[in-house]
Amino acid sequence: MGEYLKKLIFEKKSEEKDDAPKLKDVVNNPLQQAILGEKLKERFEATYSGNPAHQDEQVAFQITELLRRFHKGEASARDLTILNDPTLRRSVAEESIRRAQEEEEKKERANQLRDGIRAEDIKAFGESHTEFAPYAGLLDDERMAEVLGEHLYNLMMKDDPDATDAWEALQRLGAARKELDNEEAHARVLVEKYRIDKDDYKALKAGHFTEKEYRELKEEREERAKELYEQYKSTRNWFVRMFSWTEIEAEKDADREMTAKMGAAGEKARSLARDRVYAQKGYLGQLWHKLTGGKSSGAEVRDIMSRIGNLEKSTAVTDFETYLPAFANVLGGIISKDEKLVSALGRESLDLGKVVVEKWDAPERKRSLSSKTEAEQKQRKTLNPKEYQQGYESWLRNPQTKRDLQARNITLNNLQPGQEDIVKDMYGEHFKTEQLGDVAERRRSMWDWFFEMLLNGFTSDMRSKLRIPANI
């Protein structure tokens, strides 16, 4: 039938034979058209009014299939009837347009995805992200970006879910970077304004302002200060509470409460370490309190402790690594920007933030923290051999362990040469991360380092003035 119609439609227009039905007879015969049209409509209705989750897909399939056959010259009389139906003809046209648009959009997204993979990111990821570091240097950065870009472009054109994942991740990263740029620009404007504020009076004295202009400027600033103060009251910002806290009695109460909570057997050492951190923070708060006249309560102190506690519980060390130096920088920056603090602490405090960040980034600190943690772990292994052995045996029975070993083609009952060492090393890694709380140890070391660094930034004269004990 298909071949017959193809000939009928495309080849025999000018040489119709008398014995063959004419095209118009096939497609325009009112009766035939009505019958075929009705049947098709029934089928269309049945599909279209069926399950809404499938209707678009099914209709699209029908129409596409029809178009394909029509263009290949395989259309049947029934198909031609479909095209004669104005409603369906419109559907065919709309579907074609929709598909063409989708294809165009997909291509555009694939191009954007490819362009979004930059050599500088590849370089940075290889240097700072553990997941990507093993692949660093396999190709030069430009080439790696190119290979990834082309691959993801092809995946996107094939509607592969990996391409969607990559697209979403890059969109999220782009949005975060844009927001960071905005916030940094905002901060720069504020800092600049802060500087100009200080210059206003000097400008007046130098004759750049009239008294009237100066008064107006002051009024405008006071208005803004009121707005900001309202904002402060409503948001109860964590920052100001952190620095305005320190009534010694409240601090002691909070310390006692926390120590009691953590006083259970086995927790004593950790509790002592935390006490030390609280004491360090207390002195910083005390410093701020003296200089700003801030107020605090026991509830505020406990709230701050709880926030710090939450940070310590954070699952990723990288979060902490990111947060702490930035925090140090902010603190140093605040000190250096506040004339009262600078005059109380001396000019050397101007560089405190910079010193803290430089020392944080120094390789010696990283090595020192790493070797300290490793030394502690080794010591624990030596001190608790029985516990370690018990842990090892329990780990061997774990289904996940069995799967991990299986993935490496290791069978415990039939160990090959060298495999026993591999198994023990695997447990060593597991022990470090799971049993010893490697992450928690590193965080505690970071806090210790941070406060030590900050307080060492103060001269002995300042320490004495602020009555900071030598052991802190």
Partner 1 sequence: MSTDTLVDIYNSIADKLAVGDEKGAMETFRARFKELPADVQGAILTRPFIGTVREEAKRVESLVELEKEVIAGIKILEILKEELGKKAA
Which residues in 63-92 contact partner 1 (CB under 8 A)? Answer: none
Closest approach, Cβ 37 to partner 1, in A, equals 49
Interaction pattern, residues 419-438, with partner 1; x per rule: CB under 8 A: x-xx----------------
By the rule CB under 8 A, 186 interacts with partner 1: yes
Question: Which residues, 143 to 162, sit near partner 1 by CB under 8 A?
Answer: 144, 147-148, 150-152, 154-155, 162
3-state secondary structure of 416: coil
Strands (E), 113-155: none
Nearest to 391 by CA among 348, 429, 343, 448: 429
How many residues lie near partner 1 (CB under 8 A)?
72
Q: Are 374 and 436 in contact (CB under 8 A)?
A: no
Is residue 235 a contact point for partner 1 (CB under 8 A)?
yes
Candidates 184, 220, 223, 348; binder of partner 1 (CB under 8 A) is 184
Stretch that binds partner 1, among 16-24, 51-59, 224-232, 357-365 (CB under 8 A): 224-232
In the set 60, 67, 157, 334, which binds partner 1 (CB under 8 A)? Answer: 334
* Per-residue contact flags (x/-) with partner 1 for residues 380 to 419, judged by CB under 8 A: ----------------------------xxx-----x-xx
Nearest CA to 279 among 422, 469, 106? 469
> CB of 397: closest distance to partner 1 in angstroms?
21
Write the single-letter amino acid at 176. Answer: A
Please tell me whether residue 139 binds partner 1 under the rule CB under 8 A: yes
Of 44 and 153, which has the nearer Cβ to partner 1? 153
Q: What are phi and psi of 315, to 5 degrees?
A: -80, -25
Q: Give the Cα separation of 354 and 362 in Å (integer).
A: 12
Stretch that binds partner 1, among 47-55, 57-65, 237-245, 375-383 (CB under 8 A): 237-245
* Of positions 30, 52, 134, 266, contacts partner 1 by CB under 8 A: 134
Provide the b/e sequence for 111-144 (b: ≥16 CB within 10 Å). Answer: eebbebbeeeebbebbeeeeeeeeeeeeeebeeb
**Residue 29 vs 401, nearer CB to partner 1:** 401
Q: Does residue 237 interact with partner 1 by CB under 8 A?
A: yes
Contact call for residue 196 and partner 1 (CB under 8 A): no
Q: CB of 91 within 8 A of CB of 44?
A: no
**Which candidate, 74, 85, 84, 43, places its Cα nearest to that of 61?**
43
Using rule CB under 8 A, residue 319 touches partner 1: yes
Residues from 87 through 116 that contact partner 1 (CB under 8 A): none
Nearest to residue 469, comparing CAs of 286, 343, 325?
A: 286
Structure tokens at 87: 């409603």
326 is an interface residue for partner 1 by CB under 8 A = yes
Q: Is 201 in the site for partner 1 (CB under 8 A)?
A: no
Q: Does 238 help bind partner 1 (rule: CB under 8 A)?
A: yes
Q: Does 176 bind partner 1 (CB under 8 A)?
A: yes
Q: CA 136, CA 122: separation in Å to the nearest integer?
A: 8
3-state secondary structure of 161: helix
Closest Cα to residue 35, out of 81, 79, 69? 81
For the chain, the maximum distance between any two Cα atoms, rounded to a whole number of angstroms, is: 118
Site string for partner 1, 7-26 (x = CB under 8 A): --------------------
Dist CA 429 CA 432 (whole Å): 5
- Residue of 7, 89, 107, 129 interacting with partner 1 (CB under 8 A): 129
**Closer CB to partner 1, 4 or 135, in the complex:** 135
Tokens found for residue 82? 């479909």
Contact map string, positions 239 to 268, toward partner 1, x by CB under 8 A: xx----------------------------
Residues numbered 339 to 378 that lie near partner 1 (CB under 8 A) are 340
Q: Which DSSP letter does residue 10 get?
A: I
Q: What are the φ and ψ backbone dihedral angles of 174, each rounded to 5 degrees?
A: -60, -45
Rounded to the nearest 5°, which phi and psi values hold at 346? 100, 160
Task: Pick one of 68, 98, 177, 378: the residue that binds partner 1 (CB under 8 A).
Answer: 177
Query: Of residues 33, 292, 377, 401, which one binds partner 1 by CB under 8 A?
Result: 292
By beta-carbon proximity to partner 1, the closer residue of 42 and 150 is 150
Helices (H), 19-118: 23-27, 30-48, 52-71, 77-84, 86-115
Instruction: Point out which span in 79-87, 256-264, 292-300, 342-350 binds partner 1 (CB under 8 A).
Output: 292-300
User: Contacting partner 1 (CB under 8 A), which of 16, 105, 165, 434?
Assistant: 165
Closest separation between CB of residue 460 and partner 1, Å?
28
* Cβ atoms < 10 Å from Cβ of 5: 20
The CB-of-129 to partner 1 minimum distance in angstroms stands at 5
Question: For residues 152 and 170, what is the distance between their CA atoms, to the nearest angstrom?
Answer: 12
CA-to-CA dists, residue 145 to 117, 269, 318, angstroms: 6, 49, 24
Least distance between partner 1 and beta carbon 421 (Å): 8
